[in-house]
């Protein structure tokens, strides 16, 4: 415990304190014709995102402004289950009024690219816009659209989300 406190104090002095938080988005996706069975199917991604340096993360003059590395797993029913992902989360509140999840993963020798966005963020609609993510899954090699999705941050998961917040040094 004292080692952790020492690292936090040292990081604070050096102005390089960061954070991480765990998030789960659950919903459905639907394959494009020719890429999988028709109909709506389960989709979920479980990710950890955050920054090693809050001062850079909140500074609009840096490339890291409100942009965080992201890692975790994705399940796309009919394609994969709990496959590792890596990418970024961008909180584009001021420039685009959106939150963007972007990650890639491999399945059976093929690479896939996912972009999911929570859009139209306004102070009066956060209960909807912060909980609904519209996604598109494409093949990296061809750029072809594989699937469209709608996932949700379930409000019942809010306590776990908040309790997962942790400082990193």
* pLDDT tens for each residue of 126-169: 777 889 999 999 999 999 999 999 999 888 888 888 899 998 97
**pLDDT score for 123:** 77
For residue 8, give the 3-state DSSP assignment: helix
- Element spanning 13, H or E: helix 2-13
Domain boundaries, the chain: 19-168
Query: Lowest-confidence range among 1-5, 119-123, 164-168?
Result: 1-5
Record the pTM.
0.88
Among 115, 116, 145, smallest CA distance to 129 is for 116
Structure tokens at 76: 């796309």
DSSP string, 143-156: --EEEEEEEE--GG
Q: Give the start-end residues of each E strand in 93-162.
A: 98-107, 110-118, 132-139, 145-152
Confidence of residue 116 (pLDDT cuts 50, 70, 90): very high
Model confidence at 15: pLDDT above 70: no
Share of the chain above pLDDT 90, in %: 72
Phi and psi at residue 153, in whole multiples of 5°?
Answer: -85, 115
CATH 2.40.128.120 matches 19-168: yes
| Residue range 61-76, pLDDT digits in tens | 999 899 999 999 999 9
| Sign of CA pseudo-dihedral 163, 97, 71, 107 | positive
């Amino acid at each position: 415990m004292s080692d952790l406190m020492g690292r936090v104090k040292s990081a604070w002095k050096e102005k390089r304190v960061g954070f991480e938080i765990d998030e789960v988005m659950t919903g459905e996706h639907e394959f494009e014709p020719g890429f999988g069975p028709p109909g709506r199917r389960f989709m979920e991604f479980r990710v950890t995102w955050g920054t090693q340096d809050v001062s850079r993360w909140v500074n609009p003059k840096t490339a890291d402004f409100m942009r965080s590395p992201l890692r975790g797993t994705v399940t796309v029913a009919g394609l994969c289950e709990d496959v590792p992902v890596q990418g970024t989360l961008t909180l584009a509140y001021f420039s685009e009024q959106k939150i963007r999840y972007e990650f890639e993963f491999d399945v059976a020798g093929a690479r896939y690219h996912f972009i999911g966005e929570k859009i139209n963020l306004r102070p009066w609609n956060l209960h909807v816009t912060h909980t609904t993510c519209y996604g598109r899954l494409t093949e990296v090699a061809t750029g072809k659209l594989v699937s469209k999705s709608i996932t949700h941050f379930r409000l019942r998961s809010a306590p776990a989300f908040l309790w997962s917040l942790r400082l990193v040094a």
